[in-house]
Structure 1
Amino acid sequence: MPSQKQDDRTGARSSWMLCPGCRRLVFHRTLARTRGVCADCGHHFRLPAPQRIEQLLDDGSAEPLDFRVETADPLGFVDSTPYPQRLRRARVATGLAEAVLCVRGRIGGNPVIAAVMDFRFMGGSLGAAVGELVTLAAELALAERTPLLIVSASGGARMQEGALALMQMAKTAAALSRLDEAGVLTLSLVTDPTFGGVAASYATLCDVVLAEPGARLGFAGSRVIRQTIGQRLPEGFQTAEFLLARGLIDGIHRREELAGVLGRLLATATPAPPPAPADGGLIRDCAQLPAEPSWDVVQRARDVNRPSTMDYIGSVFEDFLELRGDRAGGDCVALLGGVARLDGAPVLVLGHRKGHTAAELAAHNFGMATPAGYRKAMRLMRLAGKLGIPVITLIDTPGAFPGVEAEEQGQAGAIAESIRLMATLPVPVVAVVTGEGGSGGALALGVANTVLAFPSSTYSVISPEGCAAILWGDPAEARRAAEALRPSARELLSLGVLDAVIPEPAGGPQADHRAAAGALRRALRDALADLGPLGPGELIDHRRRRFRAFGLDSWEESSRGAELTA
């Protein structure tokens, strides 16, 4: 819990603290019971590193790492107080040797190396000793191939060490890059405050960046910005909530949730066998599918009662944890992604997000992703590639968002980059068209080893309305365009665009969500079991050969499909 304040008149320790959030007095024993969180307003008080470790790690698992690092005074720095004297005061006040504690332990039973900062020690400033300790923790994580957790709390680089403090940003960044190369998971927990050199190095370079409510994160603090350039700052500037809305962190979690969330993330780094095949009864012969008017299939694919990506995530997967943001200033409400488990095995799930009501559809931009959405997807796919876990995409979009802002932000380039990245992922990739598969906005999640679809779904180069407007000069000719485009699963299977079709309940997935989810689960298990024996290079080669085959031979396949339609 937070330290008690000393009464200026008596010298005794006060039993009460003033909450910065609601300005009410809080009894220190109450804070101890609530993990240092105000019960009235939810303000998260700062925690000393030892208490942070006690709260996050499994009981009795924390083992201090005996990294012997000395803090020097390279500049002989003196302001109002000589630097060595400041260090001595910080050590006496905190009982710590430096502003970071390093331990080995477990969270949720999963092994972890943790470097936990303490703001009480000279504002958690980043000096040579702190940089060395964080680097040593990273190097131990690399040697043991154990995930690394960094808990940050810092005002920035330590001015008393001059340029040597600045160099710690590069030193720690290089250490994290080695973990990236080795496929070792890195997690960052941002606490209040995290600024300057720490924010611009290891606090934001980890695979997943989480924050406590209200935690502030930024390179230059608000006071520096105001005093330097006189700029007016937005409400809630640099808070975790501000950052989440702008795609700069993955999530915000209250203190009582953190251990569970971190444990679930650490579990994704634990190898697990792929799901066993489930005899999903996949349809591989288009003759087994009924012929029906393409326009009718289009209407069923667009039915708002069909299961959404969130519906499937809730019923097909376990332990889904959403990860947000493209880390470049944007998040996308139309594209959802995160880690989950399929029959106990870790997977990465991505999908277009729609909804079942007009309000939900509008809130999720009708499933039309922006460049930030595709960049978020790429960031998460790279994480899956690093950790060696399969990627599953659920496609249901009329197309990528065509608005002015999307064009200004590079919509075409984002889609192109996503397509290229998917061609090179060294892990199994399975894509499922669950509703509409519209144009490049769908293909950006569709470059997979195995591409599946429900019978009442569609996949096309353009919407029937768009095709009719361009070629017939009249959107009202959409029915005619649909018959010409042949976007149904039956036709796509005949063309080889789909590898197989998932059996669906009578009336389509919208008629029985539970049955559709069960069919999808079995289909995914079968697909991943088939891909399981392939190594990284074989998976990439398999995917490239699959899409290399779409060429002149497609005309022959198209002719056969036309005979079936006739």
Structure 2
Amino acid sequence: MTERFSAREAVALVSDDFSELRAPMRHFKPDGPISWEGYDDSRARAGDRTGEVESAVCGTATIGDTPAVLIVFEFGFLGGSLGERTGDRLEAAYFHAREHRLPVVSLVATGGSRMQEGMLALTQLQRVARQSALTREAGLAQIAVACDPATGGGWATLGAGADVTLALPGAQLGFAGSRVRPPGADPSAYTAEAQLAAGAVDAVVPTAELRETLALWLRLLTRPSAEAEAGAKAEAGAKAEAAPVPPGPVQPAPVPPALGALDLPATGWEAVQRARSPQRPRAAAYLDAYFTRRATISGDRCGGTDDGMLCGFGLAHDGGSIRSIAYAAQCGTPTRPAGYRTAARLIRLAGRLGIPVLTLVDTPGAANDAEAERQGVGAAIADLFAAVATARTPVTTLVIGEGGSGGALALAAHGNTWATPDSYFSVIAPELAAAILKRAPEQVRSTADQLRVRPQDLLQLGVVRGIAQAP
């Protein structure tokens, strides 16, 4: 079990300049809205014990160098449970965030909805969900940190509903709290580490690294939209002061330079062999060369992860400036359904926040085993095709290795795909094409030539815009 912190201790972990927002305080009749006997006494004892008047503390804070709205739960106040007054505070915090164009960071430590307020407490989840949705539509980032414990409706709205979800090591994490789980339930399934493995959490962050990690994420997710708005406002002139100005156009991510071979393959089969070579630079090498710093998102929020699809946001040099760019990169393995869903999640998040996307294609194709079919690989690929096709911000694609059929094409931008000299793209693998055509094994090489899979063939056919050059 991880260490538990009071709300004020949690604030001190991430910021030194917290300023609490004025909180509405609705009047309750004796023992609350449903006259739960002893409720007034329970709240009084909770206040004496914690020094708080409710289970959530809300305010503004600077984390790193980014101002944000901070929502922090006090678990010592009736288990951090949500009641009507908690809902009032959270709603006011979200309203302040939208009014002042600030991201929202939530440190979630809650056992769920407050029983002493009955269904009125449960309906606070609808209020929170609405405020979160409105903030998302406004293009503002939401980051949650699951502290100990993070369960019930608080987890299902503020935690699991955030754009990026982090967790402290060993934290109890899940929709079901420890006292309502089925008899015999494996307690290890309700941990931060288990939720990370299941694709519900992006990272488990040691307490000592939390401030720096949040500062990086806020830098990655907030500065691009702020800069775009500032640029549009400057172009609009004095009239911009009287009314909000929509963000200016987002420029595409620059094409990464080729890191491997620079000469072009003579034959289709040579292109295939070069792309399959273990010595060829892979996605991690391209990402390390492209970004000065980066942070990963993990998981499809549907129970799965795929180590063969790297997704996240990074800081990259573009001309004379450094800006945030989202990335989704295949690692040369068959892509699992969770990989496609995570990439679609990334592209939609980048679109909401005004951040361009870079995708790196490198896969022999989609995973086609029985488990992949049970996990909905076809639907996952379809969803990624849709996410790329409807992306709100530009998508730049570089094929860095194998481009195997629709499992690779789903990640590629129409009209803005490039290729490295040691890559290929094909409607199907040459070996499979030969098998379907009932050709002898020795005809695989000539089949590769017929398919016209070389980078220069792809350029001539108009499939790619260009061939990446040396740095």
Q: TM-score, normalised by structure 2?
A: 0.89
Gap regions ≥5 residues in structure 2: 229-249
Whether 2:51 is the aligned partner of 1:95: answer yes
Q: Which has the higher contact order (CA 8 A, sep 6+)?
A: 2
Of residues 330, 354, 374 in structure 2, which corresponds to 1:408?
Answer: 374
CA apart distance, 1:68: 2.7
- Which residues of 2 match residues 214-363 of structure 1 at below 5 A? 214-226=170-182, 230=183, 232-234=184-186, 236-268=188-220, 269-271=222-224, 272=227, 292-343=266-317, 344-354=322-332
Amino acid at match of 2:34: L
Residues 31-87 of structure 1, C-alpha deviations (whole Å, 9 max, x = no match): xxxxxxxxxxxx631001111111101x3x211111132363111102xxx100111
**Aligned partner of 1:439 among 398, 405, 426:** 405
Alignment of 1:467-506 (within 5 A): 467-504=433-470
CA distance in 2, matches of 1:280, 1:97: 53
1:295 maps to a residue whose letter is W
Match of 2:95 in 1: 139
Once residues 182 and 328 of structure 1 are traced to their aligned partners in structure 2, the CA distance between those partners, rounded to angstroms, is 25
Deviations 1:279-315 (A, max 9, x none): 9999xxxxx9756111111111111111111111112
Secondary structure of 2:98 counterpart:
helix
1:235 and 1:117 map into 2 onto residues whose CA distance is 23
Aligned 8 A contact 1:151 1:189 in 2? yes
For the Cα contact (< 8 Å) 1:429–1:449, is it kept in 2?
no
Partner of 1:192: 148
Alpha-carbon deviation of 1:277?
10
Q: 1:408-557 alignment to 2 at 5 Å?
A: 408-504=374-470, 519=471
Secondary structure (helix, strand or coil) at the match of 1:101 reads: strand
Alignment of 1:171-186 (within 5 A): 171-186=127-142
Secondary structure of the corresponding residue to residue 352 of structure 2: helix
Please report how far the alpha carbon of residue 278 of structure 1 lies from its aligned counterpart in structure 2 after TM superposition. 8.8
SS in 2 for 1:336: strand
Secondary structure in 2 matching 1:163:
helix
State the alpha-carbon separation in 2 of the partners of residues 381 and 243 from structure 1: 22
Contact 2:255 / 2:468 at 8 angstroms: preserved in 1? no
Contact 2:335 / 2:367 at 8 angstroms: preserved in 1? yes
Deviation readout 1:6-31 (Å, 9 max, x if unpaired)? xxxxxxxxxxxxxxxxxxxxxxxxxx
Match of 2:74 in 1: 118
**Aligned residue among 347, 350, 355 for 1:389:** 355
AA aligned opposite 1:270: R
Asked whether the 8 Å contact 1:108–1:259 carries over to 2, the reply is yes
What's the CA shift for 1:222? 4.2
Distance in 2, matches of 1:191 and 1:320, equals: 24
Match of 1:56 among 1, 9, 14: 14
Instruction: Give distance in 2, aligned partners of 1:242 and 1:302.
Output: 34
Whichever residue aligns with residue 48 of structure 1, its letter is S
Report if aligned partners of 2:253, 2:358 keep a CA contact under 8 Å in 1.
Answer: no
Distance of aligned partners of 1:161 and 1:407 in 2 relative to their CA distance in 1, 3 Å threshold:
same
Offset, 1:242:
0.5
Change (3 A) 1:280 1:352: closer
The answer on whether the counterparts of 2:256 and 2:290 sit within 8 Å (CA) in structure 1 is: no
Counterpart pick for 1:206 among 162, 171, 189: 162
Instruction: Give unpaired runs (5+ residues) of structure 1.
Output: 1-42, 283-287, 355-366, 505-518, 520-566
Rate the CA distance shift 1:279–1:147 in 2: closer, same or farther, 3 A: closer
Give TM-score scaled by structure 1 length: 0.74
1: CA distance, partners of 2:444 / 2:265 = 19
SS in 2 for 1:193: strand
SS in 1 for 2:190: coil
Aligned amino acid, residue 69 of structure 1: M
Deviation at 1:474, TM superposition (A): 4.0
Q: Which runs of 4+ in 1 moved over 3 A?
A: 272-282, 288-291, 473-476
Q: 1:432 to 1:240 in 2, by over 3 A?
A: same
Query: 1:391–1:290: structure 2 CA closer, same or farther, 3 Å change rule?
Result: closer
> 3-state DSSP class of the match of 1:205?
coil
**What amino acid sits opposite 1:321 in the alignment?**
A
Return the alpha-carbon distance in structure 2 between the equivalents of residues 66 and 308 of structure 1: 52
Q: Whole-Å Cα distance in 2 between the matches of residues 345 and 377 of structure 1?
A: 20
- Superposed displacement of residue 145, structure 1: 1.1
Answer whether contact 2:362 2:402 (CA < 8 A) is retained.
yes
Find out whether 1:66 has 2:25 as its counterpart. no
Q: What's the counterpart of residue 75 of structure 1?
A: 34
Query: Alpha carbons of 1:260 and 1:244: their partners in 2 closer, same or farther (altered >3 Å)?
Result: same
Equivalent pairs, count: 437
8 Å contact kept, 1:248–1:327: yes
Q: Match of 1:341, as an amino acid?
A: L
Q: Which residue of 2 aligns with 1:21?
A: none
Compared with structure 1, are the counterparts of its residues 95 and 204 closer, same or farther at alpha carbon in structure 2 (3 Å cutoff)?
same
Give yes or no for contact 1:222–1:233 (8 Å, CA) kept in 2.
no
Bigger mean CA offset, 298-307 vs 488-497 = 298-307
- When the two chains are superposed, the root-mean-square deviation of aligned CA atoms in Å is 2.1
User: CA separation of 1:321/1:161 partners in 2, compared to 1, >3 Å: closer, same or farther?
Assistant: same
Letter in 1 for 2:287: I
Residue 346 of structure 2 aligns to which amino acid in structure 1? L
Alpha-carbon offset, residue 233 of structure 1: 2.6
Partner amino acid, structure 2, of 1:239: T
Q: Match for 1:440: what amino acid?
A: G
